[in-house]
Structure 1
Amino acid sequence: MGSQALADLAISPIPGLWITGLASQYPPHLIQPEKLDDAAARFGHDLESPGLKKLLQVNRHTGIKTRSMVSTYQDGFATGSELPSIVEIDNYFRQVGVDLAAQACRKALRESGYGPEDITHTVAVTCTNEGNPGYDLLVARQLNLPHTIDRTLLHGVGCAGGLSILRTAGQLALAATYRQRPARVLCFACELCSPNIRREMHEAERCPDPADICIGGALFSDAAAAFVLCNEYAMMASSDTGSLKNDGPRGRRLFQLLEWGSATIPDTEDELGWYTEPLGRRAILSRNVPGYTKKAIRPMFEQLLPSYQAKAGTGTGTDLLQPDNFDWALHPGGGTIIEGAQQVLGLTGDQLRASREIYETRGNSSSPTVLAVLDELRRTGGRGRDHVVATSFGPGLMIEMAMLRRCRGEGEEEE
């Protein structure tokens, strides 16, 4: 490829952005719903108190068969007689959470074919740690990433975080393309929600009105996920000097990122939240959230679709793709959110198979979950559809959506 072709990359209307490695990492423990009842009794809670009784009832009917957790209710962190303080939770994350995130990053790097020395940027997110310097620096040190990397750490986006880092990485990679430089962006999300379950039970027991309890203690789990996003220069260049070579397995294409969007749903900032307090974090999860998400998802899809379709080369005008032409990596915030999306978009169960699988077997681990769904999606259901939508929701309420095209013959075997 000559110098003119290289220059053309900077002005191409089609983003040259590819996910080249993708991984999810769950901790070793899978906890069944009934174990929460056992834990509440063992910690001395009043199981007949209206609030806790309601929380345990919800826990048995979420549709989650197992939740992934960094420790069991029997031993490990937060199993003593006293509730852990926010200081203890913080210290625990900056050891165990960092290790979990680093594991996910190593898997994504291994699949991408790139080494730590090749990474030019990192974009990370968490809502379960607020330390400064951010945990992304601790992960970078553990991975031996170059000290010259461009680091970005997002906060305040909650369950939307997995796609927030994808959007941010896409913008950074396109900026690098404009500057005619390679971008190999390592992105990762990590959440440890289970250390907060003790506080959820504590607060539920003291809540006089069962209608006012937060059901987060029945939904949330622990996980990390990571991916590598590359621009066109990174796929061709052996170094930041821009010299070209055939890298063999390096930079194999899994998905091409073609379009994305983000929006805040007006007057919903009190519907979903996560606030730090002395004994952990206070979660706010309104019963109105599924209704808001249901109303927001189709308008965002229709807003992004024409641009995506033009870039994907599948026709324009009245010949538009429909929701059922896509596989959906929907963040499984709860069973009603999955059902609402399926109803409003007219989707089949097969199109949401990965979302249901992750929800039922791992629970909702906040920001990494949508990336874990995307990872699961490429491994289940045979060949799958060529077009993929990933979408998630977070505090604000905000909606994040990304549209991707599967790359056949490189990151996925034909069947």
Structure 2
Amino acid sequence: MPLHQYNERKAPGLWIVGLGTQFPENLLRPEELELFARKHYDAKSGGLRKLLAINRKTGIETRSSVLDLKTGFAAPSEPPTISDIDSHFRDVGVKLAVQACEKALREAGLSPEDITHTVAVTCTNQGNPGYDFLVNERLGLSPNVDRTLLHGVGCAGGLATMRAAAQMALAGTARRRPVRVLAFACELCTLNVRNELAAAEASLPEDVCVAAALFSDAAAAFVLTNDLGRGAAEAVYEVCAFDNAVLPGTKHHMSYLIDPFGFRTVLSKAVPILTTQTVVSMFDRLVTEYAAYTGKMLLVPDNFDWALHPGGDAIIKGVQDLMSLTDEQLGASKKIYRTRGNASSAAVLIVLDELRGMGKGKDDVVAMSFGPGLSIEMAMLRRCRAKPLVDEII
């Protein structure tokens, strides 16, 4: 297609005008988890021995956590119940989410009364009313805000909120209404550490789940507007294309289900291989749409920085090898994985926030995450560069 025909297609007018990340104060090291596991469980059991061996070589140096593993929640001899975990999330998790949202609103230059919609996600709390109701209430949002809480999307949730927010903004454009969506994700995965360790103790080595060694806690938020709702706000990213898909016949490879002592994760060894199977086809499909909006021809993976969900070292390496990416293109994902671990749905948003502070980088960005289903979410964004000052030009 000739370049002038690409330029005839108008971009959707979707702008991320604020981003915010909030981590809890604790950073857990692999050796701390090992000491904790040996204190409460039989480290001679085959399953737990295998988990602790994996814990030493995940490539994670520290994980953000609301726990310190020495005192307080989860430290007593009796493990917390699912009811305890729910109560703790609705206190600590809501506070983290509010702090992330406040950061995003400040950067956007917006007040709570400016927000027209909210989209939230978590997989570590399932109560009703949803935790988003509590966050909206503490932020002082209008009771008339259009509120949506996503469920069942797991680690794919961060980009699922972006997709939902973008669709809401486009609907507002069609109705000639300004839309300003506050989207947020919050996960307190480490509250389930006792349940995950108990499961490992009872497992055969070949069946052990690595969740206790990977997952972390954090909240992240962004504000997305349409053209009518943007006003004078400086944009961080322009959202140009997005999509999602499910890989049929794979739902048994990843799940996150409730039992009396918390949530329990299922992650099969096949997940890193399976999650990469849809990457090429989705990239090829979206890059055509992205080119139509940006006028950039012959785009290939090397033209983009990649905000990849830091789901595990094998997933990061698998996508890197498949798409022939450099360490620099995946720099933000690798850094967050190494220093903060996998914060589930919040993680990819944290990577996008981190990416913009890591030097000039590339103008074009692919964001990608995976979740139960197995599902894949992908978005293509364009960095919005600040205009240079006159004396900088001179």
Q: TM-score range by the shorter chain?
A: over 0.9
- 1:351 partner SS: coil
| Matching of residue 96 in structure 1 with residue 92 in structure 2 | yes
- 1:367-393 superposed Cα distances (whole Å, 9 cap, x missing partner): 00000001111101x211000000000
Cα pair 1:105 1:226 within 8 Å, conserved: yes
Q: Deviations over 1:205-232 (max 9, x none)?
A: 122x101111101100000000000100
- Structure 1 residue aligned with 2:3: none
CA displacement 1:120-171 (0-9 Å, x = unmatched): 0000000000111100000001100111100000010000000000000000
What is the match of residue 335 of structure 1?
313
Read off the aligned partner of 1:118 and give its amino acid letter: D
Give 2:280's match in structure 1, choosing from 295, 298, 317. Answer: 298
The DSSP-based 3-state class of the residue aligned with 1:123 is strand
User: Among 235, 251, 259, which residue is 1:277 paired with?
Assistant: 259
Q: 1:41 offset after TM fit, Å?
A: 2.2
Q: Does 1:189 align with 2:162?
A: no
Give 3-state SS (helix, strand or coil) of 2:278's partner.
helix
Residue 344 (structure 1) aligned to one of 313, 318, 322:
322
Whole-Å separation in 2 of the counterparts to 1:313 and 1:118: 33
Cα RMSD for the two superposed structures = 1.4
Question: Structure 2 CA distance, aligned partners of 1:388 and 1:410?
Answer: 19
Q: Which residue of 2 aligns with 1:86?
A: 82
Unaligned runs of 5+ in 2: 1-7
In 1, the alpha carbon distance for the partners of 2:373 and 2:335 equals 27
Q: Secondary structure at the match of 1:18?
A: strand
The aligned counterpart of 1:326 is 304
Q: Out of 10, 15, 35, which is 2:12 matched to? A: 15
Distance 2:165 2:159 in 1: 10
The equivalent residue for 2:175 is 179
**Is the contact between residue 331 and residue 373 of structure 1 (CA under 8 Å) also seen in structure 2?**
yes
Q: Is residue 140 of structure 2 the alignment partner of residue 144 of structure 1?
A: yes
The residue matched to 1:291 in structure 2 has which SS? helix
Which residue in the other structure is 1:368 paired with? 346
CA contact (8 A) 1:254 1:410 kept: no
For 1:121, which of 112, 117, 134 is the aligned residue? Answer: 117
Do the aligned residues in 1 keep the contact of 2:63 with 2:339 (CA within 8 Å)?
yes
2:118/2:145 contact within 8 Å kept: yes
1:155-190, CA deviations, whole angstroms, 9 ceiling, x for partnerless residues?
A: 100000000000000000000010100000000000
Greater shift after overlay, 178-187 or 292-301? 292-301
Task: Return the letter of the residue paired with 1:51.
Answer: G
Counterparts of 1:165 and 1:346 in 2: how far apart (Å)? 28
Q: 1:348 & 1:41 partners in 2: Cα distance?
A: 39
Contact 1:252–1:410 at 8 Å: present in 2 too? no
Q: Is 1:398 equivalent to 2:375 in the alignment? A: yes
C-alpha distance after superposition, 1:29-88 (max 9, x if no partner): 001100011111222x11111111111111111000000000210012111111110011
Cα contact 2:156–2:377 (8 A) shared by 1: yes
CA distance in 1, matches of 2:155, 2:387: 30
Deviation at 1:410, TM superposition (A): 6.0
Q: Deviations over 1:96-135 (max 9, x none)?
A: 0000000000000000100101000000000000111100
Q: Distance in 1 between matches of 2:325 and 2:9?
A: 33
Q: TM-score, normalised by structure 1?
A: 0.91
Match of 1:38 among 35, 53, 62: 35
Structure 1 position 211 matched with structure 2 position 182: no
For 1:23 and 1:117, how far apart are their aligned partners in 2? 18
SS at match of 1:161: helix
Q: Which residue matches 1:231?
A: 226
2:364 is the alignment partner of 1:387: yes
**Aligned counterparts of 1:299 and 1:76: Cα–Cα separation in 2:** 47
Matched residue SS, 1:283: strand
What percentage of aligned pairs have identical amino acids?
A: 56
Q: Which residue of 1 aligns with 2:56?
A: 60
Secondary structure of 2:245's match? Answer: strand
The number of aligned residues is: 383
- Offset at 1:13? 3.6
Q: Deviations over 1:302-330 (max 9, x none)?
A: 01111111101213xxxx10100000000
Tell me the secondary structure at the aligned position of residue 201 of structure 1: helix
8 Å contact 2:14–2:166 — kept in the other structure?
A: yes
Which 4+ stretches in 1 moved above 2 angstroms?
Answer: none
